[in-house]
Amino acid sequence: MKPVTEATAVKAPVLPDAQTVLEVKHWTDRLFSFKVTRPQSLRFRSGEFVMIGLLGDNGKPLLRAYSIASPSWDEELEFYSIKVQDGPLTSKLQHIQPGDQIILRPKPVGTLVHDALLPGKRLWFFATGTGFAPFASLLREPQTYEDYDEVIITHTCREVAELEYGRQLIESIRKDELLAELIGEGFADKIRYYPTTTREQSPKMGRITDLLKDGTVFKDLGIEGGIKPETDRAMVCGSLAFNHDIKAILEDFGLREGANSDPKEFVIEKAFVG
């Protein structure tokens, strides 16, 4: 290894595909979000993910898939992450500070994109935990509101504090004048936010899967007849178990799983990094 002189410390590209950390925010002892510079050449569709990471102790890149939480038009890239104390990547990543560098492979992919859904009227985003991230992007994407009359975002977390990133983001979207200019006045009226907790008291308790099965969601939101394949589309991002359970529920409602090459009524992606 070369000795790090002042000159090399500033100029040398310390990491391959390096991007600079701009901002870090810790939400709970298990959750944080951060922003990094966007590579000029990076084009992505809102809802996609990229591989990001750090150099491992062996000097090799240690990378994981992360949904981009910022919209495709944004100058910066935002990510929302869990902190796993013994996790190979997140045990280190949680300590990044503005000015640090991370590795970002500029090859976006993913199924939570508008192209993977057939046209519809009402779009459901179903998230648990950090599965909120791709929807943080899609909620700021003009096409979401051009394509749908109504956008329902459900977010289930264990505790109230874990909802905070999503709650604040939706609040800021509702007040954002730039977005209103970009998307059209009144766009935010289409957003319906349905947060639930499972292990701490909050206004709406329970797993979203149970609340869908017993009809509580539809009663609360005033939706007659539940989810219908003619009008409703859904994107899902959560743990494997959650994805499995909600897939069965959506299929019971008559929706079929789609893909980029074969758009249908719903799409699913695992929330990455455990």
Near ligand A2P by CB under 6 A: residue from 100, 141, 150, 245: 245
Out of 25, 199, 219, 256, point to the residue binding ligand A2P (CB under 6 A).
Answer: 199
- Considering the rule CB under 6 A, would residue 242 count as an interface residue with ligand A2P? yes
Minimal distance in Å, beta carbon 133 to ligand A2P? 13
Closer of 74 and 164 to ligand A2P (Cβ):
164
Q: Residue 125 or residue 242: which is nearer to ligand A2P going by CB?
A: 242
204 belongs to the binding site for ligand A2P (CB under 6 A): no
- Supply the minimum distance, in Å, between the C-beta of residue 105 and ligand A2P: 25
Instruction: Round to whole Å and give the CA distance between 55 and 15.
Output: 7
The nearest distance, CB 164 to ligand A2P, in angstroms, is 14
Count CB-CB contacts under 10 A for residue 190: 16
Q: Which of 239, 212, 226, 49 is nearest to 128 (CA)?
A: 239
Closer residue to ligand A2P (CB): 68 or 212:
212
Position 216 contacts ligand A2P (CB under 6 A): no
Return residues touching ligand A2P (CB under 6 A): 128-129, 156-158, 198-199, 207, 209, 239, 241-242, 245
